[in-house]
Chains A and B, each alone.
Chain A
Amino acid sequence: MNTSAVLHAQGVEKTFGTTRAVAGVDLSIQKGEVCALLGENGAGKTTFIQCALGLTRPTAGRVQVLGQPAGSRSARGAIGAMLQDSDLPELMTAREHLSLFATYYSRPADIATLIGDTGIEAFADTRYKKLSGGQKRRVQFALALVGNPDLLFLDEPTTGLDQAASRAVWNNVRAMVDRGKTILLTTHYLEEADALADRIVVMQKGGIVADGPTDDIRGRVGGALISCQTSLLQSQVISIPGVRSVQEKGRGLAIVSEDAALTLRHLLDRDRQLSDLTVQKPGLSEAIDSLTDTTTQEAA
């Protein structure tokens, strides 16, 4: 048993009626790690996070934060969280929210410094109601930091934000990473995981299907990514030599191949009308697809 872990989950299961939302998750996060939890909707990410936050009790297994049971007051004092779909009371300002939350913690951040560090000065004294979506998210981010947490949970921190607002949140996160904070992040956006995380954990159907350093996960695919427009069907392409997985992408197909030259020869042979052809190294997106896609497993 790993006692030095900031977060330690052991055999965590959560069932709702007959649905197993989380089906036996073991996960340890060490100090200073920035771990991204990826997976499709319904993969169990949010339910797992809720167990780790103590918002819901696992059906089996346990989660500890710095050796304390998740949800206990000392565990809650050591974490900060930015939750999905959570809004603050509209009639108070960011500064008022932060000052109130500071009273909950034993060693809170200095409010003025925190406001400066998270770049929210410009709207710190504006009522929450009047803020834009991006500004609200950044206030929530500041609120997650008010207790000087050892472990920061960010559940879909940039969902629904435009590019500029997402960048602002990312910069905030990076600044925390530089200070050695431990972060557990869930996201739909692979770009976000790629930009922020040094470790990636992929969940599918309630279990962990891949766990490793971001570079490893990306490298796991190998081969090449072929994009093209073709009249061939996905089911026809999967049987072409060298093809590891096929995804629909825009109006065409994205094909991951272990042997690009071989696959291309077959492709061009079978579809003489094939167009818009590009060949590149696979990114994180293809890596995750190939780890979770069922067609891949059939082909493998």
Chain B
Amino acid sequence: MSTGTDILLAETGAELRKTIRAPEFVIPTLALPVCFYLLFGIMLSRGGAAETLLATYGVFAVMGPAIFGFGAGVATERERGWLDIKRVSPAPAWSYIGAKLLATLVFAVFALLPIYVAAATLGGVALEQSAWLGLLMTHLLAVFPFSLLGLALGFRFGANAAIAMSNLCFLSLAVLGGLWFPIALFPSVMQGVAYGLPSFHLAEVALSFTRYATDKGTGDHLAMITIMTVVLGGLAYLAWQRQRT
């Protein structure tokens, strides 16, 4: 008899296998954030950008695999009837989502590493070991709200619409959340919008590990992230309930 752990590991292995066999998804998803970082954080850098953009582009790097992996992935597997085959089998429902989350965490590490390496070498970012660790934890924490967002999109929309919606969410969260440019450059209305986005709060927590922390309210940001994660989890649950008749 297989234990839950065996199922989860086998399922995660399958997820990772599927991922690396889709280079047309993996390569751009891994390359885009680090290329942006090299361009804006290092080549066009004006004082401190290497360090601040390390914090914000880390959040950006994790968003891709989480939103698209779950959004497009779940929508496609649902539309093709794969989810029904799983539901008929005795596989526990949590193993499907748990495995996707684990695989996304692994993917996220690979998306973050090149940015960290570029920052530490070319960018000359020198942080304490504990700060690097805090940064990594924050960036990996970002997997959860964004995966739940992707999950909600994947259950709610068909494959094509889910990809379009994922793109919309991905770009809005990046730009309006201040991952590309600090929200201080935005008009005040747009700054208000940023406060409603998990990407902004995650970036603020990440910045708190650099020398460029914008405020001292890390606890407030973490609270907002928690609330948003719970809300997104609720949306994902509703979308899941709605799609089963």
Using a CB–CB cutoff of 8 Å, the interface residues on chain A facing chain B are 16, 53-56, 73-74, 76-77, 79, 81, 83-89, 91-92, 96, 99-101, 103-106, 127, 140, 143, 147
Contact partner of B7 (CB less than 8 A), chosen from A16, A54, A86, A103, is A103
Q: What is the CA–CA distance of A79 and B90 in the complex, to the nearest angstrom?
A: 9
Instruction: Give the residues in chain A near B14, CB-CB below 8 Å.
Output: 89, 92, 96, 100
| Chain A residue at minimal CB-CB distance from B15 | A89
Beta-carbon contacts of B64-108 to A below 8 Å, as 1s and 0s?
Answer: 000000000000010011101101111110000000000000000
Q: Is the CB of B7 within 8 A of A91?
A: no
- Contact partners of B21 in chain A: CB under 8 A: 91-92, 127
Which B residues touch A77, using CB under 8 A?
Answer: 90
Q: Is B184 an interface residue (CB 8 A)?
A: no
Residues of A within 8 A of B245 (CB): 16, 56
Which residues from A are CB-within-8-Å of B2? 103-106
A-B contact pairs, 26 of them (CB 8 A): A53-B88, A56-B244, A76-B89, A76-B90, A77-B90, A81-B88, A83-B84, A84-B81, A86-B81, A86-B82, A87-B81, A87-B82, A88-B85, A89-B14, A89-B18, A91-B18, A92-B17, A101-B89, A101-B91, A103-B2, A103-B10, A103-B11, A104-B89, A104-B91, A105-B89, A143-B85
**How many A-B pairs with Cβ below 8 Å?**
77
Query: In residues 176-208 of chain B, which contact A (Cβ within 8 Å)?
Result: none
- Residues of B that sit less than 8 Å from A by CB: 1-2, 6-7, 10-11, 13-14, 17-18, 21-22, 77, 80-82, 84-85, 87-92, 244-245
A55 touches B84 (CB 8 A): yes
| A142 CB to nearest B CB, Å | 13
Contacting residue for B11 out of A79, A88, A100, CB 8 A: A100
* Cα(A77)–Cα(B1), bound, Å: 12
Question: From B85, which residue of chain A is reached at the shortest CB distance?
Answer: A86
Is the Cβ of A88 less than 8 Å from the Cβ of B82?
Answer: yes
A53 to B244, CA, bound (A): 13
Given A76-B89, A86-B85, A103-B2: A92 touches B244 (CB 8 Å cut-off): no
Q: Would A89 and B81 count as touching, CB distance under 8 A?
A: no
In the complex, besides A81-B88, A89-B77, 5 extra interface pairs with C-beta distance below 8 angstroms are: A83-B81, A87-B82, A96-B14, A104-B91, A143-B85
A74 — which chain B residues lie within 8 A by C-beta? Answer: 90
A86-B84, A87-B81 known; A100 and B10 CB under 8 Å?
yes
Provide the residues of chain A in CB contact with B90, threshold 8 Å.
73-74, 76-77, 104-105, 147
Q: Report yes or no: B88 in contact with A83, Cβ–Cβ below 8 A.
A: yes
Select from chain A the residue with minimum beta-carbon distance to B73.
A89
Give the chain B neighbours of A87 by CB distance below 8 A.
80-82
Q: How far is it, in angstroms, between the C-alpha of A287 and the C-alpha of B85 when the chains are bound?
A: 34
Q: B1 — nearest CB in chain A belongs to which residue?
A: A106
Residue on A nearest B80 in the bound complex, by CB: A87
**Distance (whole angstroms) from the CB of A24 to the closest CB of chain B:** 19
A16–B87 Cα gap in the complex (Å)?
Answer: 21
Closest 5 CB pairs of A and B: A86-B81, A91-B21, A77-B90, A76-B90, A87-B80
CB distance from A131 to the nearest CB of B (A): 14
Using A91-B18, A92-B17, A103-B6 as known contacts, say yes or no to A86 and B80 having CB atoms under 8 A apart: yes
**Chain B residues whose C-beta falls within 8 Å of the C-beta of A99 in the assembled complex:** 10
A56 contacts which chain B residues (CB < 8 A)? 244-245
CB distance from A39 to the nearest CB of B (A): 20
* CA of A88 to CA of B7, assembled, Å: 18
Q: How far does the alpha carbon of A92 sit from the alpha carbon of B244 in the complex, in Å? A: 26
List B contacts of A53 (CB < 8 A): 88
Give the distance in Å from the alpha carbon of A55 to the alpha carbon of B89 in the complex: 11
Q: How far is the CA of A133 from the CA of B119 in the complex (A)?
A: 50
What residues of A have a CB within 8 angstroms of the CB of B89 in the complex?
76, 101, 104-105, 147
- By a CB distance below 8 angstroms, the chain A residues around B84 are 55, 83, 86
